[in-house]
Structure 1
């Protein structure tokens, strides 16, 4: 009987503490970030070197890994469909991109941005397009960096849940943990 009482007491304390945790922070999972990226991901841009090569780029299939490869960072992967026009005529390529970014929480907007985005790996198909894409990659990197500095990856809503509504009102900062972003509330 005493063991059962201690077990119930421990369970009760655990429930209270987990409830308190919900009152002190809001957690956004990798899956929620990925869903937001799929909905909001509409990067489409023309880049190039005037007179030499121009490319129309559409980024799709964007997904994230939060704090897994590098602490404090988000790793993004996605596919870029590229239509190139150059002195050699029109060509097409696909790039599998891997990028890293620093998540940043803008308290006034209740939005998470992916700052200082950097392409860390780019695989090009067909391979014959690799040299052209290597020339374009710094322009693509700068364009993506600018895009994600201006467009939030996730925006807190007051309509989705009570906890998210509280986060929008009382959030201070952002912590990156493996597989999730944690937004602590003000005390």
Structure 2
């Protein structure tokens, strides 16, 4: 019985593959990446300079733009809510962040990571907090870089359908096009 089931599964997979000769690439859209980025909403981090200033940061509202502003790069926008404690007492601020990163595919994890994350713009409200938060920006950038180097922005999953299951098995790279990530497939 096991041999019959295994044979039927192998035959089904072979027929599926033979019917997919036209499948030479798999596309992941900005919407797909944005949906996956929601898992990273509410990322929290405490950073600061001991004795001078400490900040509790919560990152939300993450969205991506793929290859639109710069070829081969993903632009991520988000909001950082910051509770700051310093010699001047507790204060709150919000930073609208614009980040850039290099998308990289990791074969072992079947995942796309956003490497070398850098902050390219940070708008602070209230504006009077800009000076204090400018000193924390390098620490925030390092924290975000470390986090996104370790946590994938998107993981290929067989649960999302046959095409993504095939892409997971046959992937041979990653290309960035405006609005999408293209995974070329091996023959």
| TM value normalised by structure 2 | 0.87
Distance in 2, matches of 1:137 and 1:21, equals 49
Structure 1 spans left out of the alignment, 5+ residues: 1-18
Distance in 1, matches of 2:37 and 2:167, equals 20
Which residue number corresponds to residue 14 of structure 1?
Answer: none
Report the alpha carbon displacement of residue 43 of structure 1 after superposing the two structures with TM: 1.6
> Stretches of 4+ moved more than 4 A in 1?
19-22
| TM value normalised by structure 1 | 0.87
Aligned-residue RMSD, C-alpha: 1.3
Deviations 1:149-187 (A, max 9, x none): 000000000111100000111101100000000001123
Q: Secondary structure at the match of 1:95?
A: strand
Distance in 2, matches of 1:31 and 1:109, equals 21
Relative to structure 1, the CA distance from residue 42 to residue 171 in structure 2 (aligned partners, 3 Å threshold; closer, same or farther) is: farther
Deviations 1:61-87 (A, max 9, x none): 000000000000000100000000011
Relative to structure 1, the CA distance from residue 21 to residue 66 in structure 2 (aligned partners, 3 Å threshold; closer, same or farther) is: farther
Aligned positions of 1:66-105 closer than 5 A: 66-105=66-105
Report the alpha carbon displacement of residue 20 of structure 1 after superposing the two structures with TM: 6.4
Report the alpha carbon displacement of residue 24 of structure 1 after superposing the two structures with TM: 1.1
Which residue number corresponds to residue 124 of structure 1?
Answer: 124
Aligned positions of 1:1-187 closer than 5 A: 23-187=23-187
Decide whether the 8 Å contact of 1:97 with 1:121 is kept in 2. Answer: yes
Q: Secondary structure at the match of 1:23?
A: coil
